[in-house]
Structure 1
């Protein structure tokens, strides 16, 4: 699903303003991927899950890119965290590692 043509310029402008305010100008993120992830989580879990999911993906990617977990680039860290969240969102509220145990997850 894509952003409607009439809202794309507003979203682009908002993204530029926000990245400037947060001083993360060098971050390049696939906006469509993040929006799709938010829609997916909202649809399979609850309307509020989209916002939480994108926050957690960003936080996990920031930790990863900062070197706390690996040496991946910020872009790759976001893609990897988003892919993990998308797989979990596909399973809805009843799937994921907690349904079979966390032993193999390093948690």
Structure 2
């Protein structure tokens, strides 16, 4: 097994263990997407932005999936894509940009 395969296997096992411990048995996370989001956030904003972005994306995906409008995997992909789009601007724009804060909702 190559080092990359070992890393993937280890991450898959960790994801399964964490899912079981948190009683999230039906989720099949897209680990490469989450890792890509964390890496892009860390590069474009700050190293600490990676885990923070992953947390926010997970939270947003959980809210969207719990509404019943989309399944968990689609909610995660959509939230991750939104975050990756924001990564293109880095930390340069106003915090209200790209969200609903200025939409009078």
TM interval, shorter chain, is 0.7 to 0.9
> Higher helix fraction: Structure 1 or Structure 2?
1
1:29 is displaced (CA, Å) by 1.8
Matched residue count: 102
Q: Which residues of 2 match residues 38-49 of structure 1 at below 5 A?
A: 38-49=38-49
Give CA-to-partner distance per residue, 1:4-39, whole Å, 9 cap, x none.
223111111101100000111111121100100000
1:98 is displaced (CA, Å) by 2.8
Which 5+ residue runs of structure 2 have no aligned equivalent? none
Which 5+ residue runs of structure 1 have no aligned equivalent? none
Distance 1:87 1:100, change over 3 A: closer
1:99 is displaced (CA, Å) by 5.1
Alignment partner of 1:90 out of 62, 82, 88? 88
Residue 16 of structure 1 corresponds to which residue in structure 2? 16
Structure-2 separation of matches of 1:57 and 1:47: 17
RMSD: 2.2
Stretches of 4+ moved more than 4 A in 1?
A: 99-102
